[in-house]
Structure 1
Amino acid sequence: MYTKDLTPSEYNPYYAPFIKMIDGDTTLIHALRESSEEVISFFNDIPSDKLSYRYDVGKWTPKEVLVHLMDTERIFSYRALRFARKDKVNLLGFDQNDFIPPSKADSRSMNSLIEEYKAVRDATIALFKNLDNTMLKEIGTGSGSPMSVRALGFITVGHEKHHVSIIKERYL
């Protein structure tokens, strides 16, 4: 399963830039594994004095961004599971900004955040590895928009690339 196999009907146009960040000849599992290595290396290399830095009022710190990536991945994986199992319920969205303060990300060590990130990604890879092509093509509704299971996997990777790019531009 490659990003080039996706059709625009499988995701909301909002997510197109995330999907375009991934090479069209990369398989979903490879993209998930490669992205995991890149994210871990990237966050481990951020200077400690920048981990709780905000480039503007109300903006997230790099630690909060990492928690946001995990929260989003968990929600997208949950949607992928529900859609793969042919659940036709419209799954509600979530307010990402409301999730950050209770996470207390800035009070956590980078090691604990990376450990959690690895566990989340390992679970995501295990889920997607065990979905066949029929399941990957299933389409459900999340936040009022159609979304395929496979699109959710690729969007997870592109979403990470998007946030890493922002941190590079505005924090480092």
Structure 2
Amino acid sequence: MIWHLIAAVFAGLGAAGVGLILRMASGKRLPRWIIPICGGLGMLAYQIHNEYSWFEHKQLQLPDSAQVVSVEERPAFWRPWTYFFPMTTAFTIVEQDNLAVTRTEGERLVEFILYRFEKQYVDQVSHQAWLMNCATGEMLPLEGETRTPRTEEMRRVEASAPIHRAVCPEA
């Protein structure tokens, strides 16, 4: 977080320098307030760029076997531009290398971990083990080290859903 603050300050200083150069190039016809305005716009531009590039930056940090299965974009009233250009605030991945496939009564069962990344003040990462029946599309969470199924939270996933295609590519 401190590095983003330092980068924003330097972006503001650089933009203020551009404002100063523009004022000097105009023979001081531009008003003096152009310098702090340029500085503020530079800091704002850096912050907007940082927020919109968060998703791509996080994707580059993931292993090649990670597949994004859902992306959440939410507008915020204190960022009015997000109503026109929504910003990615969270995404969920499945790591293909950690799929545990078993067969029970002729049906393919896949155990996997769903990772959720959320953009907050400090980025949040949560994970949950799941079990999916590829034939029926039923998916339920597994609890604890013993991987006890929580059947009351079972849900059905369509075969066309990205999570079903990532976990059960052969189905």
Report the TM-score when normalising by structure 1.
0.24
More helix per residue: 1
More strand per residue: 2
Instruction: Select the structure of larger CA radius of gyration.
Output: 2
Report the TM-score when normalising by structure 2.
0.25
